[in-house]
Amino acid sequence: MSAEQDAIDERIQAAAESGDLAELRRLADGGSSDAADQLIETATELGALDELRRLAAAGNQDAADQLAELTEE
């Protein structure tokens, strides 16, 4: 794994731990599938339905699935 990828992974981890959806979104929008996965996980944990709706509207099936689970409760 490259040093650049290590740095991105560290930023994803730090953003996830602090609940920084904006940073995760920025990394995901930059092309990191790991950040996108973590964004969905963190948004789900925080109950950030707007973020999940945004991702689902953009065609992310995982976000749509999580949103469906959260909103049917």
CA triple 69-9-63, angle to 5 deg: 15
Note the pLDDT of residue 58: 94
DSSP, collapsed to helix, strand or coil, labels residue 19 as coil
Residue linked to tokens 């794994």:
1
> Average pLDDT of 1-6?
90
Note the pLDDT of residue 1: 76
Give per-residue pLDDT as tens, 12-65: 999 999 999 999 999 999 999 999 999 999 999 999 999 999 999 999 999 999
**Whole-model pTM above 0.75?**
yes
Note the pLDDT of residue 73: 67
- First-to-last alpha carbon distance for the chain, in angstroms, is 40
